[in-house]
Amino acid sequence: MGRGPLLHADADAFFASVVLRHRPELVDRPVAVVAHVFVASANYPARARGVRGGVLAQEALRQCPELVLIDVPRAEVEEAGDALFDLFHECARAVEPGSMEEAFLDVGAADWPAAVAAGHELRRRAAAELGIAVSVGIGRTKLMAKLASRAAKPDGLHVIRGEQEAELRRDLPMTKVWGVGARTVERLAELGVATLGEIDTVPWDTLRRVCGTAMARRLRAIRDATDDAAVRPVEHRSELSAEGSISGYARPDWTPAELLERCVERVCRRAERAGLAAAGLTITLRPDDGSPAQVLRRAGRTATADLRAWPAVARELLEQAPELALTGLRVTLTGMTPVDQLPGTLF
């Protein structure tokens, strides 16, 4: 792909933003979205009071007694994530997902002003069409774009231009180099290496021993400004799934079959976009009487490139299942392989 500047787009406090779209009365109050008793996402008023993602909800409540806790609405969050990626794909010619709410984008920008214009447009559309704030970082490589999006938060756009890079690279704290673990940072600090510019103060063999060869090479590449600038659109994943909730937010009158159809459609669209074929399909039914989830499974030995086969498979599986009142279900495509790596296909 092109050599122009890249974008890193990252939704701000994503789970919390999705929830607050329908709860405007809570926007200025500290809110945390909770998944499995842990804080999954905290809005900025909550962060200002010291609430962080990853802590136990009870602990967060002690820290901030006025905190409003909301269970993560999984299906709604997933739909918002899908809509966000639809928008990314409309704005870019290549999208490399980082998570369900962040991605590197190649918008085909030939120069900095074009990249900045594309970034503003993406942010405007995310706010207007999806009701969520997306921060955008722009840089020459993926690391620079990612550092820029961190600097852009909350709800902003930040550019790290070519001429700022040299200084930034030299002074970059090891803690900010994405992919370097806490233990490695600690061991480097013991050797007197706290910034990227200091890696040459230790012998190459020592650096390799402490970081591993691949990371040591990567650190040198970052320092030398030859780090990764390619947006790779294919998602290398062995499974993709979509969650749907009946008792949830949008259509309480959906039948399981309708919900199933919608989930299969969503997950197949994601697979198609990622260039992946699937070998199997699993449906997880969540009964509303609290009994254990029921799993229905169809698995082939090799992946089939034609995604149109899966809706019928899913329907058949559901028809064979005992009739149940459900709170929701999950559809998972399994055994995924990049379409262009399938043996013996003409695709």
Q: Which are the catalytic amino acids?
A: 102
**Torsion sign over Cα 298, 304, 307, 309:** negative
Q: Which residue's CB is nearer to Mg ion, number 134 or number 207? A: 134
Q: Do 194 and 188 form a contact (C-beta atoms < 8 A)?
A: yes
In whole angstroms, the minimum distance from the beta carbon of 183 to Mg ion comes to 25
In sequence order, what DSSP letters do the residues of 162-199 get, joined into one string? HHHHHHHHHH-BGGGSTT--HHHHHHHHHTT--BGGGG
**272's tokens:** 């198609």
In whole angstroms, the minimum distance from the beta carbon of 14 to Mg ion comes to 5
**Torsion sign over Cα 82, 83, 88, 89:** positive
Backbone angles phi, psi at 115, to 5 degrees: -65, -40
In whole angstroms, the minimum distance from the beta carbon of 102 to Mg ion comes to 5
Q: Which residue's CB is nearer to Mg ion, number 136 or number 222? A: 136
For 117, the enclosing helix (H) or strand (E) is helix 112-125
**Torsion sign over Cα 30, 31, 32, 34:** positive
DSSP SS3 for 338: strand
**Smallest Cα–Cα separation from 275: which of 89, 119, 140, 144?**
89
Strand partners, 11: 134
- Of 7, 9, 10, 64, the one binding Mg ion (CB under 5 A) is 10
**Sheet with strand 134-139: strands edge to edge:** 94-99, 102-106, 6-11, 134-139, 157-159
Q: Which residue's CB is nearer to Mg ion, number 11 or number 177? A: 11
Report which residue type is found at 147: L
Task: Please choose, out of 6-14, 89-97, 213-221, 285-293, the segment that lies near Mg ion by the rule CB under 5 A.
Answer: 6-14
In whole angstroms, the minimum distance from the beta carbon of 335 to Mg ion comes to 30
Classify the phi-psi angles of 195: left when phi > 0, otherwise alpha if psi is within -120 to 50, otherwise beta: beta
**Residue 119: partners with Cβ closer than 8 Å, 6 or more residues away:** 7, 9, 136, 138, 157
In whole angstroms, the minimum distance from the beta carbon of 47 to Mg ion comes to 13
**Sheet with strand 38-42: strands edge to edge:** 38-42, 31-35, 68-71
Q: Which residue's CB is nearer to Mg ion, number 11 or number 259? A: 11
Q: Which residue is nearest to Mg ion (CB)?
A: 10
Interacting positions 232-251 with Mg ion (CB under 5 A): none
In whole angstroms, the minimum distance from the beta carbon of 12 to Mg ion comes to 6
Report how many residues bind Mg ion under the rule CB under 5 A: 2
Q: Which residue's CB is nearer to Mg ion, number 12 or number 165? A: 12
In whole angstroms, the minimum distance from the beta carbon of 41 to Mg ion comes to 8
Q: Which residue's CB is nearer to Mg ion, number 10 or number 96? A: 10
DSSP SS3 for 144: helix
Q: Which residue's CB is nearer to Mg ion, number 10 or number 243? A: 10
Give the interface with Mg ion as residue ranges (CB under 5 A): 10-11
